[in-house]
Structure 1
């Protein structure tokens, strides 16, 4: 039986879940567009414009999901497990970006 605490009850909580789903969909689009460009022998991600745009948008959506999830957890006292999962995954993406910038 699914508890009431799995799904978010507030609008920002639902937005954070939607942004996390958008991250996964954009990463699938980036992967498919990279695989379809295989005969053209692209060396880096930025050689394929569609894959680069989808990947950068996925990073932006993950960072947005983190901040929206953190906001709704702290401000609206959202206690849904899915929002905590969103904050966890978004936080990992934020740490990855920070380590890439400052390492």
Structure 2
């Protein structure tokens, strides 16, 4: 049985991990949408409206997981590995978004 420090114990911690799982599911759905539209030869992601919407939802979920994870660590003193992993991946997505906006 795994240690207590692996899974989050607080409600916001569980939301943070669920949002991260939603990111992976949304990215998988986006990839499936893009693969199903191969005969149409779209040049960019934004030529396919559904894939763009799902990808933007994945980015929003990743940023939400980051914010909720940081809140959980600071306010509720959550110390689970899953929440720290969520914050690190969400932070990478936030860094990527900021670099795309300002560089």
Whether these two folds match at TM > 0.5 is yes
Unaligned 5+ runs, structure 1? none
Corresponding residue for residue 71 of structure 1: 71
Post-superposition Cα deviations, 1:36-92, rounded to whole Å, max 9, x if no partner, equal 000011111011111101100000000000000000000000000000000000000
Runs of 4+ in 1 over 4 A off after TM superposition: none
TM-score by length of 1: 0.98
| Residue 86 of structure 1 pairs with residue 74 of structure 2 | no
Corresponding residue for residue 39 of structure 1: 39
Unaligned 5+ runs, structure 2? none
Corresponding residue for residue 8 of structure 1: 8
CA shift, 1:31, in A, is: 0.2
